[in-house]
Amino acid sequence: MNAETPTGTASEALERAFQRAARVVIANITPAVDDGAFPAKRIVGDELVVEADIFADGHEMLAAEIVVRAPHGRSWTRIPMELVVNDRWKGSLPLDVCGLWQFRIEAWIDVFSSFATGTGKKNAAGLPLSLEAVEGHQLIAAAHARANGPIKHALAAILDGWDSLSEESRIGLLLAEETKAAMHASDDRPFLARSKSYAVDVERTRAGFAAWYELFPRSFGGNRHGTFRDVIAELPRIRAMGFDVLYMPPIHPIGSVNRKGRNNALVAAPGDPGSPYAIGSAAGGHEAIHPELGTLEDFRALVDATRALDMEIALDIAVQMSPDHPWLTQHPHWFERRPDGSMKYAENPPKKYEDIVNPDFYADKALWLSLRDVFLHWIAQGVRTFRVDNPHTKPFPFWQWLIIDIRERYPDAIFLAEAFTRPKRMYQLAKLGFNQSYTYFTWRDTKRDLTEYMTELSTAPIADFYRPHFFVNTPDINPHFLQTSGRAGFLIRAALAATLSGLWGLYSGFELCEADALPGREEYLNAEKYELKHRNYNAPDSIAPQIAQLNALRHREPHFRDVRGISFYNAFNDNILYYGKTAPGRSDRILVAVNLDPHNEQGCNFEIPLWEWGLPDHESLVVEDLLNGYKFSWTGKIQHMHLAPSAPYAIWRVHPEARA
């Protein structure tokens, strides 16, 4: 018989099997992204809940701890874990500092607890325990020999009067909680097993909870090209709607070569401003500002003005260049050319973007460093949040390297991946370091689609690394639902985005219910991407008050700060989406019902989740209407609702202790 095994010789296999730690199994640890290949994501102030399957052969009891180290810490802290059910263990700790936390799990056979539990059962059954008294004494004596400090004194106190005690008193002492605590503290942890270490990236609040407002600064100049100073005047209006991040498309010089005209026309007319995504001209590249927007001093003034309102700027970084970007002459080898020597323009067949060229990422490492320096330049101007255009079309290793490099210098930097692509590629970008991600929410508008998609996003392992950012529209995406739904449709989508995810955003004009589209396309007619657009933000049919109310509710109620903690409940009408949100440490539920039909009133019976609190089906509870500010009562599990297009959503709070 061959003594060789797939992992070595038979003697080596025997040695591994004989290792004492092999008796205890630690498996299926959460949170763990690809079994620890990437950090899980959390927000400062979150509670980190660690779970694992922990078991061993035999009947002995186990003990387990989370061994955790905070960012920049040298020492490890031990957090006890508890058995939940069926060999599943759980422990938790508060995450009170931003940075990279590390944890592992240690588990061992708890000899004294096994002894005490068995002895307690025998004692309850009235069995003789003389040998158990001797065994317990031996265990305590051994622990005393290896202990030191106060624990050694506590064990000595147990041993000192032992000979004078009756057997009944000895058993009582062995089973006392004080004895169990002292023995736990002095445990030599036989058959100790250790998991590998896992990382948790703990980030600032706005990495996971924020409301974004997108605008083109050039559209706020009245009858002229707008400037950063014009945007400063708009900040109070935007802040009053509850937005805390002001997001702007690229602010760099716009190329002249092949500049696009209105509605993406191939030829620009005189005065057409072009697409801001065609970056670079004689005025500079990615580190320069389009001259008509103002100066670097003006930009810094805008940064300061947003900060004064407890807001911040998010900049769009698009790794693409116009044909007259300075890098094309300074570093021509960074760019690909066609066989005839002509420039290789960006394409998404059958679409071609003649005003854009893409660099060859593997032509020169200097390109990577230059792009990294673009981010560092804007960070030096006070920007910490970046929306990255189409990151899935650039190499994964580049983004992983860049984000690590930036966040080692600036841990508060935030990167949003604007990647509308296949799910696995979107998820990989999040694993590599993008703090936030665009989603398919824009195209999920039926009850079934929303329920299935939200279940996917709110459940581990996806929820441990992927932070979904729900944009209701973008300059490039005018969803079919909004094109035909009128004002009610805009209210519906705002309510869904604001209450389903901790991150949501809109593109300017949404509050005015703009929906004019290119025929048969999910694109805006007269798109602002190619022209200046002037709006009356004081229009009487604006939904800005409703948006402000939703954002105020989000800031007031912790239930809305995460995509997790969502449950879908029965509403017996496919046009009504009905769900509840929970918050850590809270027993109340916030219930949200949304009429998905923008054209018709919808009604149905629906269930109050009394079972989640162990309450009978006939219970009466006080209900708080969070939109209209009054209270009423519900009696019984089954209730009825009506939602009209003019007010297509309802938001209630139900607390199990608020009995009617």
Per-residue pLDDT reduced to its tens digit, 202-261: 999 999 999 999 999 999 999 899 999 999 999 999 999 999 999 999 999 999 999 999
- Confidence (pLDDT) at 2: 47
Closest CA to 547 of 575, 580, 513: 513
- Confidence (pLDDT) at 21: 66
pLDDT tens, residue by residue, 107-136? 999 999 999 999 999 999 999 999 999 999
pLDDT tens, residue by residue, 55-114? 999 899 999 999 999 998 889 999 999 999 999 999 999 999 999 999 999 999 999 999
Annotated catalytic sites, by residue? 389, 418
Q: Is 614 exposed, middle or buried (0-12, 13-18, 19+ CB in 10 A)?
A: exposed
CA distance 314 to 210: 12
Which residues sit opposite 173 in a β-bridge?
none
- Confidence (pLDDT) at 9: 85
The answer to whether the pTM exceeds 0.95 is: no
CA distance 261 to 23: 71
Closest CA to 535 of 551, 518, 511: 511
Contacts of residue 585, Cβ cutoff 8 Å, sequence gap at least 6: 47
CA distance 232 to 298: 10
CA distance 255 to 353: 13
CA distances from 580 to 155, 556, 591, 653 (A): 51, 16, 4, 9
Coil, strand, or helix at residue 114? Answer: helix
- Confidence (pLDDT) at 209: 98
Closest CA to 280 of 320, 330, 247: 320
Low-confidence ranges of the chain (pLDDT < 70): 1-7, 20-21
